[in-house]
Amino acid sequence: MPAPDAVLVLSFGGPEGPDDVVPFLDNVLRGRNVPRERLLAVAEHYHHFGGVSPLNAQTRALVRAIESELDSSGVALPVYWANRNWHPYLADTVAAMRDDGVSHAAVFVTSAFGSWSGCRQYRDDLQRVAGAVAGAPELRKLRLYYDHPGFLESVADGLDATLAAAGSDPRVWFSAHSIPTSMAACAPYERQLRWAAAEVARRCSLHAWELVWQSRSGPPRQPWLEPDVRDRLRAQPAGAEVVVCPLGFTSDHMEVVWDLDAEAAAVAADAGIRLLRSPTPGTHPAFVRMVRELVAEQLDPSVPRRSLSPAGPWPDGCPAGCCSLPAPTRRGAHPG
């Protein structure tokens, strides 16, 4: 298999001004049966921040950090950036890569865990664009990295720093985006999250922790992974202290800054609870080094594939049927 001659960072995307918000959400929800009033309600989350998602700025910073890491390691590969749902669109970036003479690209997706929306959909997007863009380079997604020491170190460092600012006995919760239970049954998502949470807790010398969920958006009749972080906060006694680690996210995008820093924080304040939130990996040096190591695996198959999971590193190609999406879920799921 030819070695890559470029790196592509592929992310979810987000609006960068008020006029972008509704067109962006139309892209996200295209083909799904989502009421218009629900879309407009979600749009208000973005307008709360001036219509700007923090994700694009953070992805730009990650691209610069990866460029610097590769350069300092003597790896002469250009780094490109594309989004699923907003500019720069994947098809446009792939066409630019083709025009630049790129033939094989290693694709780093800003999602560490296996699910339909976090892995399978990105793989489908890459396959679709490769067929739609004439002369497109080969696009090979890097493996899932929920078990990579660099990811776990970056999360644990952020949690340790937050715990240092907390009291003597805070409740510690790991959070991730909830998904329908029918989707979870077809994916390793929940299993991988529980394993990663336990490993981060071990690194931070925690004896007790919980996994909670956030950002659910489906109809009430559809079961989603629970408990919701807001429900757990309402169940705590006044005066409690809670540290939330957004384990399921690699950057502070809208589901972090709105769902945790705004909504969950408001619930905590109403209940008399002190809520602290640890940072996401972002451009943590260990996280950036991890990207370079994942790229190195495609440059040289003999490079050790670092993994702390007892099952070993996730394969480059997912098993057949992994993260498939039941038809009713495909019609009804939408973002928070």
Residue 1 lies in a domain: no
- Residue 237, Cβ neighbours under 10 Å: how many? 8
| Together in a domain, 141 and 290 | yes
| Together in a domain, 209 and 248 | yes
- CATH code for the domain of 247: 3.40.50.1400
Residue 93 lies in a domain: yes
pLDDT beyond 80 at 326? no
Residue 327 lies in a domain: yes
R_g of the chain, CA atoms, integer Å: 20
| Together in a domain, 12 and 131 | yes
**How many domains does the chain contain in total?**
2
Q: Domain range spanning residue 207? A: 149-277
Residue 136 lies in a domain: yes
| Together in a domain, 188 and 57 | no
| Together in a domain, 201 and 219 | yes
| Together in a domain, 69 and 125 | yes
DSSP for 258-283, please give it: TIIIIIIHHHHHHTT-EEEEPPP-TT
Residue 75 lies in a domain: yes
Strand partners of residue 105: 6, 139
Q: Residue 232's pLDDT is what?
A: 98
Tell how many helices (H) and how many strands (E) occur in the chain.
13, 8
Q: Of 234, 251, 277, which closes a domain?
A: 277
| Together in a domain, 22 and 110 | yes
State pLDDT tens for residues 202-223: 999 999 999 999 999 888 899 9
| Together in a domain, 158 and 139 | no
| Together in a domain, 255 and 305 | no
- Owner of token pair 């793989």: 123
Residue 224 lies in a domain: yes
Three-class SS of residue 186?
A: coil
Residue 171 lies in a domain: yes
Q: Of 233, 248, 277, which closes a domain?
A: 277
Phi, psi (rounded to 5 degrees) for 52: -115, 125
State pLDDT tens for residues 76-111: 999 999 999 999 999 999 999 999 999 999 999 999
Q: What is the mean pLDDT of the chain?
A: 94
| Together in a domain, 135 and 54 | yes
Q: Residue 334's pLDDT is what?
A: 36
Which helix (H) or strand (E) segment is 99 a member of?
A: helix 90-99
| Together in a domain, 101 and 39 | yes
Ranges of beta strands (E only) in the chain are 6-11, 79-83, 104-109, 138-141, 171-177, 210-214, 241-245, 274-277
> How many angstroms from the chain centroid is the CA of residue 206?
24
Q: Residue 332's pLDDT is what?
A: 38
Residue 32 confidence class, pLDDT cut points 50, 70, 90 = confident
**What residue type is assigned to position 327 of the chain?**
A
For residue 214, give the nearest of 251, 256, 253 by alpha carbon. 256
State pLDDT tens for residues 255-310: 999 999 999 999 999 999 999 999 999 999 999 999 999 999 999 999 999 999 99
Residue 35 lies in a domain: yes
DSSP 136: P
Q: Of 245, 277, 309, which closes a domain?
A: 277
| Together in a domain, 34 and 118 | yes
Which helix (H) or strand (E) segment is 70 a member of?
A: helix 55-72
